[in-house]
Amino acid sequence: MARPAGFKIRHWTQAELDLIASRKAHKGYLLEVAQKINRTPNAVWNMAKTIFRKERANGLKAVNGVST
């Protein structure tokens, strides 16, 4: 899956990714991150899931959806 133009992982802190991936992120938080990188909250959620799926595929362990 190709990333949308302009999307770079470096926009994110590891804490943001962990929070999103842990499914504890509420809509307001997703909206906040989305505004920071000029995306919709759904796009933020989908991009975070994609990143973690790729990490797992690369052999990194994921515990409860959070990369370790």
Residue 41 is predicted with a pLDDT of 73
Is 23 contained in some domain? yes
Is 27 contained in some domain? yes
34 with 44: CB under 8 angstroms? yes
**Alpha-carbon distance 62 to 6, whole Å?**
26
Is 4 contained in some domain? no
Looking at the 3D structure of the chain, how many domains does it have? 1
Is 32 contained in some domain? yes
Is 44 contained in some domain? yes
Is 2 contained in some domain? no
pTM: 0.40
Is 7 contained in some domain? no
Residue 68 is predicted with a pLDDT of 47
**Predicted confidence (pLDDT) per residue in 4-44, tens digit:** 555 555 556 666 666 666 655 566 667 777 777 777 777 77
Q: Please compute Rg for the chain using Cα positions.
A: 11
Q: Which domain holds residue 30?
A: 12-67
Is 37 contained in some domain? yes
